[in-house]
């Protein structure tokens, strides 16, 4: 288990559509262990595999940051099967250090995924939990939270984004 550098905005891997995971082998287990170490060190809420440079369909959520439960939720080949409502809230991303913007997303979501033991599960989420699931699923599709902003909001942070891109290059 080792921490890995978190990929910053500007790295092309963040724009890749991640590949489904066919088999939960030792390579995937090691990847997830490294992601957990990385997320804990960064004290973040969620992390997708392509944020450590691996374009595979897995993300993790530190649920202790949501409801105080002590669970690192591992979501392999996740899908959102239902969404409802709409809510605007401030959002950030470990690949965009120092940038926080208000983003509109569904208020509730239902997730289906597979855990590290290969067991399929379903979770209903609202509030910050739903937001985290939707944000991380976007990552696996090469989509970033800034893609949800209005062109005006993006313009207002364009200097910060340019600086990040130059650091990532
Ligand atoms: Ni993110």
| Interval 137-153: pLDDT, tens | 999 999 999 999 999 99
* 64 phi/psi in degrees, rounded to 5: -60, -25
> Which residue segments constitute the domains of the chain, with CATH numbers given?
12-168 (3.90.45.10)
Rounded to the nearest whole angstrom, what is the distance from the C-alpha of residue 126 to the centroid of ligand 1?
A: 18
Distance CA(59)–CA(151), nearest Å, equals: 28
Helix ranges restricted to H, the chain: 26-42, 64-67, 127-140, 151-156, 158-168
User: In this prediction, what percent of the chain has a pLDDT beyond 70?
Assistant: 99
pTM of the model: 0.95
d(CA 164, CA 166): 5
Cα of 130 vs centre of ligand 1, distance in Å, is 14
Q: Cα–Cα distance between 60 and 52 in angstroms, integer? A: 12
Q: Which residues contact 5 (CB under 8 A, 6 or more apart)?
A: 52, 53
Residues 62/72, Cβ–Cβ less than 8 Å: yes
Which percentage of the chain shows pLDDT scores above 90?
91
In DSSP terms, 73 is beta-bridged to 61
136 in active site? yes
């Amino acid at each position: 288990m080792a921490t890995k550098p978190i990929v910053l905005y500007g790295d092309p891997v963040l724009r890749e559509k991640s590949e489904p995971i066919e088999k939960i082998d030792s390579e995937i287990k090691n990847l997830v262990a490294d992601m957990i170490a990385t997320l804990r060190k960064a004290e973040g809420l969620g992390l997708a595999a392509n944020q450590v440079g691996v374009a595979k369909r897995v993300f993790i959520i530190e649920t202790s940051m949501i409801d105080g439960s002590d669970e690192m939720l591992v979501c392999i080949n996740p899908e959102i099967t239902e969404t409802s409502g709409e809510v605007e809230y401030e959002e950030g991303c470990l690949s965009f250090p120092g940038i926080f913007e208000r983003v509109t997303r569904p208020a509730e979501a239902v997730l289906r995924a597979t855990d590290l033991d290969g067991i399929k599960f379903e979770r209903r989420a609202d509030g910050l939990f739903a937001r985290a699931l939707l944000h991380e699923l976007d990552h696996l599709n090469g989509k970033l939270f800034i893609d949800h902003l209005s062109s005006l909001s993006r313009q207002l942070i364009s200097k910060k984004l340019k600086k990040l891109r130059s650091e990532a290059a």
